[in-house]
Amino acid sequence: MTDTVPETLTIALWAVNLAKPLNGIGAWAAAVEAQMLRAKSEGADLLMLPEYMSEQWLSFAPEGIGADEEVPWMAAQAEAALAAIAPLPAKHGMALLAGTLPVLLEPVPEAGSPYVNRAHLLLPDGRVVRQDKLCLTPGEKDPAAWNLRPGERLQIVTWKGLKLATLICLDIELPALAASLAPERPDLILVPSMTAKLSGYARVFGCARARAVELQAAVAAVGVIGAASTNKPRETNTSGCSVFLPCEESLGFVGLHDEIPPTDAADDDGELLIARDIPFGEIRRLRAGAAEVWPGAWTADHVTLEVD
């Protein structure tokens, strides 16, 4: 038996402030629960955290840890971190996209990096949906830096009758992934991100907006802000929170449901956007034939490319 699709759903997006120091995984888990309680009190059914929210853990990492040691160290904290937040979705009756963090693959691959950048979507019914980043940035492929490996599968999950997928940061910039998703008619795309410059924010969030049009779906994007509190210089991150919709008259014309503009610093835990009443029922009606011009899961199979 499938869930009845809700007419509307409220979600929360937390732009985590990496600059706020922590004293351990327990403190991080407590901060996550506090934001879940805050979001739940505002009527949210889902809380989203950004990509590499785990970089905040470097504030309690061993002194002098090198750039090529950061991913293995964060991955070593992953089991305890996930165990600490695992009970929270059932406890509070809401879903949690716990951002992304490095994970050591088991079994360890014979060649290449054994680490992936993995998102964890924890659902109140106990399911855990894991999504690895599919396309890596130069820094994520650098053997002298974070040195990760790309994922190979794109997961779609049904929750509350809605089809969800997670595209991590750079993955949302790839039309080929959108084309592969289109026949499945997803309702909500979750985009946890990390972008250092305003240009990176503009790419990720601009492409997220485009994907909402292409897929006739809601797309929620959130990023980290600031830099982890360590004793060495680190790149500062610039981001915000946005929920995009198809550009249709009944959805407000311009394709933007709600947003918090980008920033590179915060005085507290970071901004929390409560995106109220995302109109999934209307989005589905539009996708079923009421959209102004949407051609559906269109392919270019009949098009011949000619190059002079």
pLDDT of residue 1: 41
Is residue 250 assigned to a domain? yes
Structure tokens at 68: 């090529």
Angle between helices 67-85 and 25-41 (to 10 degrees): 50
Domain assignment of residue 246, yes or no: yes
Rounded Cα distance, 127 and 110, in Å: 30
| CA–CA separation, 188 and 234 (whole Å) | 33
Q: How many domains does the chain have?
A: 1
Give the contacts of 176 (CB within 8 A, at least 6 positions apart).
none
Local confidence pLDDT in tens for the 308 residues of the chain: 456 889 999 999 999 999 999 999 999 999 999 999 999 999 999 999 999 999 999 999 998 899 899 999 999 999 999 999 999 999 999 999 999 999 999 999 988 999 999 999 999 999 999 999 999 999 999 988 899 999 999 999 999 999 999 999 999 999 999 999 999 999 999 999 999 999 999 999 999 999 999 999 999 999 999 999 997 888 999 999 999 999 999 999 999 999 999 999 998 999 999 999 999 999 999 999 999 999 999 989 999 999 99
> Which tokens in the block code for residue 90?
């059932």
Domain membership flag for residue 16: yes
How do beta strands 188-193 and 115-122 pair?
unpaired
Give domain status of residue 303, yes or no.
Answer: no
- Which pLDDT score is estimated for 276? 98
Q: Sort 135 into a burial class: Cβ within 10 Å, 0-12 / 13-18 / 19+.
A: middle
Give the pLDDT of residue 150.
97
Predicted TM-score of the model (pTM): 0.96
Dig out the tokens for 171 from the structure. 């993955």
For strands 256-263 and 272-278, give the pairing: unpaired
Q: Is residue 117 part of a domain?
A: yes
Tell me, yes or no, whether 276 lies in a domain: yes
The range of the structural domain enclosing residue 192 comes to 9-290
pLDDT at position 102, please?
97
CA–CA gap between residue 150 and residue 303 (Å, rounded): 31
In a domain, 254, yes or no: yes
Note the pLDDT of residue 207. Answer: 98
Q: For the chain, how long is the longest CA-to-CA vector?
A: 62
At residue 2, the pLDDT reads 52
What's 39's domain CATH number? Answer: 3.60.110.10
Q: What is the pLDDT of residue 4?
A: 83
